[in-house]
Amino acid sequence: MAERKEKFYITTPIYYTNGLPHIGHTYTTVVADVLRRYKKMRGYDVVMTTGTDEHGVNVERAAKKAEIPESEFVARMAEAWRALWDELGLTADEFVRTTDLTHVRTVQWLFKLCKENGYVYKGHYTGQYCIYDNAYVNDAKPGDPCPDCGRPTETVTEENYFFKLSAFQKPLLDFYKKYPEFIQPETRKNEIVSFVEGGLKDLSITRTTIRWGIPVPGEEPHVFYVWFDALTAYLSAVGGPEYEKRGMWPADVHLVGKDIIRFHTVYWPAFLMAAMLPLPKQVWAHGWFLMDAAKMSKSKGNVVLPRPIAHMLGMDALRYFLLREVVFGQDGNFSYDALVTRYNSDLANGLGNLASRTAAMLEKNFAGKVPKPGTALPQDNALAKEAQNAIGEVLERYDRFEFARALEAIWGVVAAADKYLTTEQPWALGNSPDEESRKATILWTTAELLRIVTVLAHPVLPESTTKVWRLLGQSTSIGATELDGLRWGQLAPGLSLGKFQALFPRVEKSEAIERIEAMANEELSPRPAAAPTATPAASAPVTGTGAVPAAAPAEKIGIEDFTKVEMRVGQVKTAERIVGADKLLKLTVDIGTEIRQICAGIAQYYEPESLIGRKVVVVVNLAPRKLRGVESNGMIVAASVGPEGRPVLAGFHEDVEVGARLK
């Protein structure tokens, strides 16, 4: 009987359904996907899970606002998350929803085990409660207002089940000591150890004031409260109470952001200890991607969406950037400028250029076949050695989750190949047998190096490396290549090259950024859908607004929808170009009650000076947004004329008062 492969179980957090994925969620999910591919190539039987966290007051409220039942709200949101991950090629083996029946059963079972073992008791929870929003306000003191509605909170006491977290201080500290790799990176471990050393309070794990949650069996109206429910999803995803059958639990690594490390390294192991279940092997907490030095959030309007980037540059480019730009574990700033710069330098000019040069030279000199190398010279051997050494180094870096350094090592080899070609100049060699043989050696060496680089980069760049793999005439699946068997010298002469497919076409930076931003703006504030046909929830547009995806877009809007858009007459006070943004003008516009700064995409059609004093139509109640880093607070209305969509500003033939509302 074949020996069972060693298993490896990776999880991402299960994400809240009150919004849709931005670049932060994408980051964790990309890392999980990279690890999944990498571990498979190391011969593991891998399972990766992601999913959605669907209970709680926020969902209750959002569903009420959308005037649909909670179950329908979360079903649509979960489908939208799943569809977006699929579109981005981030397909997990299991997608767990906290409303799944297996999950419900698992949470109830875990609770029963904890209770039977004496770690659960009934007590009273007292907190500040907003009776208008039906929710506790965490950390509020008596007299504090509700942060959502501003009305005073009331002190409320309710009966809850408590988990005896205090009993786990010593067991947790012993556990961290015994398994020093459990919390990663090291800095986070120190934080957690001192937190636990400071003492642990028992934890309220049920609520009677929330309706939308998993019921505590026989104890209605008690429902489980956030973390007891959410964390258990990791176990539900691989079999729940029957986890032994699937053989995947315990998780080998929980990937999380640093915001939720405490729940994963204190609560979760304590729940599992109480239930006497196996503990996860590692929790890896990465840093945050920041935008303008702040954590992204929808309310701040600084979220970066993955889809426009994937559309413009390809998903591989986004994956590469996320892993190469920031040391895994630390915070990093996201900027479109840095993204496009890396795309052009490392991908278009680096790997893409090496592949296209190699293909062109093999086509021209060897009729598109891998040549048989002649005698290797010292410089060929030196390059071979560099590539061979890189294999070991890159695997070690991946194993330690040092993704940026793994990529750096791979790109070091790409640079060495560029230098080698520049020095060896195969294109300058003639047709004598010696020169032909030398050419064959140089080009075989380059192609072999490209093969090694391609395999090593595959976990991060799955799409483009698959293209290079085919180009190199390989008939196997690159994802099934065993990294442990990868050696210099395995490229067989005589193989016919596949068709060359462009990998990373160079882009013009400002144009690429403008296009990404335009797509992102469209996604954040989608225009009303014109299509009258009913759209199933699965293919409903995914918006970044957190709005529930529509089940069937309405054909016509009512007057109340129209009146939501506030348009006023404005007068342009100043107008200037924006450096690095060819299409945008920065305007200041008097709208009667105030002067607003507004960016308009009209720079190619209007001279800034010609606009001063002109009366325009302004949408004044749009949420502010940033265009090329410049805040835009409103929108100037223009007709879009002709096939290229030339903007023509809306205006008036009669004199109109600044600030007048359009109805």
Q: What does the binding site for ligand ME8 look like in residue numbers (CB under 6 A)?
A: 13-16, 24-25, 27-28, 53, 230-231, 233, 256-257, 259-260, 288-289, 295-296
Cβ neighbours for 284, distance < 8 A, ≥ 6 positions apart: 184, 185, 253, 254, 255, 256, 329, 401
Smallest gap from residue 251 Cβ to ligand ME8 (A): 11
Residue 549 CA from chain centroid, whole number: 19
Whose CB is nearest to ligand ME8? Answer: 24
How far is 318 from 340, CA to CA, in rounded Å? Answer: 10
Q: How far is the CB of 27 from ligand ME8 (least distance, A)?
A: 5
Q: In the complex, what is the shortest distance from the CB of residue 123 to ligand ME8, in angstroms, rounded to a whole number?
A: 24
Residue 116 or 148 with smaller CB distance to ligand ME8: 148
CB-wise, 28 or 445, nearer to ligand ME8?
Answer: 28
Find the DSSP H helices in 458-526: 462-471, 509-524
Of 232 and 510, CB closest to ligand ME8: 232
Least Å distance, CB 168 to ligand ME8, is 18
Query: Least distance (Å) from ligand ME8 to the CB of residue 301?
Result: 14
> What's the CA angle centered on 71, arms 67 and 74, to 5 degrees?
90
- Residues 85/42, Cβ–Cβ less than 8 Å: no
Residue 570: CB atoms within 10 Å? 28
Least separation in angstroms between CB 475 and ligand ME8: 38
**18 vs 249: CA distance, rounded Å:** 29
Q: List the one residue out of 106, 87, 103 whose CA is nearest residue 95.
A: 103
Q: For residues 20 and 598, which CB has a smaller minimum distance to ligand ME8 in the complex?
A: 20
Full DSSP string of 565-609: S-EEEEEEEEEEEETTEEEEEEEEEE-SS-EEEEEES-TTT--HH
β-bridge pairing 154-163 and 203-204: antiparallel
Helix (H) or strand (E) holding 74: helix 70-87
Whole-number Å distance between alpha carbons of 639 and 649: 6
Least distance (Å) from ligand ME8 to the CB of residue 97?
A: 12
Minimum CB distance to ligand ME8, residue 141 (Å): 25
- Looking at the Cβ atoms of 97 and 342, the one nearer to ligand ME8 is 97
Q: Least distance from C-beta 285 to ligand ME8, angstroms?
A: 8
Distance in angstroms (rounded) separating the CA atoms of residues 586 and 601? 9
Of residues 542 and 618, the one with the C-beta less far from ligand ME8: 542
Residues 565 and 511: their CA atoms lie apart, in Å, by 30
Q: Which is nearer to ligand ME8, 52 or 204 (CB)?
A: 52
Residue with tokens 């007051």: 57
CA distance 327 to 286: 9
Kindly state the tokens that stand for 660. Answer: 């007048």
Residues with Cβ within 8 Å of residue 451, at least 6 apart in sequence: 472, 474, 490, 491
CB of 8 to ligand ME8, least distance (A): 19
Alpha-carbon span 139 to 117, nearest angstrom? 31
Going from the C-alpha of 659 to that of each of 567, 594, 595, the distances in angstroms are: 9, 9, 11
Q: Please say which residue, 103 or 583, places its beta carbon nearer to ligand ME8.
A: 103
Q: Which is nearer to ligand ME8, 328 or 398 (CB)?
A: 328
How many whole angstroms separate alpha carbon 663 and alpha carbon 658? 15
Of residues 296 and 355, the one with the C-beta less far from ligand ME8: 296
The minimum distance between CB 220 and ligand ME8, in angstroms, equals: 24
Q: Which is nearer to ligand ME8, 28 or 521 (CB)?
A: 28
Which residue number, 49 or 632, has a Cβ lying nearer to ligand ME8?
49
Q: Which residue has the tokens 């459990």?
A: 182
For ligand ME8, the closer CB: 147 or 532: 147
Q: Which of 259, 266, 229 is nearest to 28 (CA)?
A: 259
- Comparison of 15 and 343: residue with beta carbon closer to ligand ME8: 15
Phi, psi angles (nearest 5°) of residue 380: -70, -45
543: left (phi over 0), alpha (psi -120 to 50) or beta: beta
Burial class (CB in 10 A: 0-12, 13-18, 19+), 567: buried
CB of 11 to ligand ME8, least distance (A): 8
CB of 287 to ligand ME8, least distance (A): 7
Tell me how far, at minimum, the Cβ of 82 lies from ligand ME8, in Å: 14
Q: Report in angstroms how near the CB of residue 477 gets to ligand ME8 at its nearest.
A: 30
Taking the least distance from each CB to ligand ME8, the nearer of 13 and 308 is: 13
Provide the 3-class DSSP secondary structure of residue 300: coil
d(CA 348, CA 287): 28
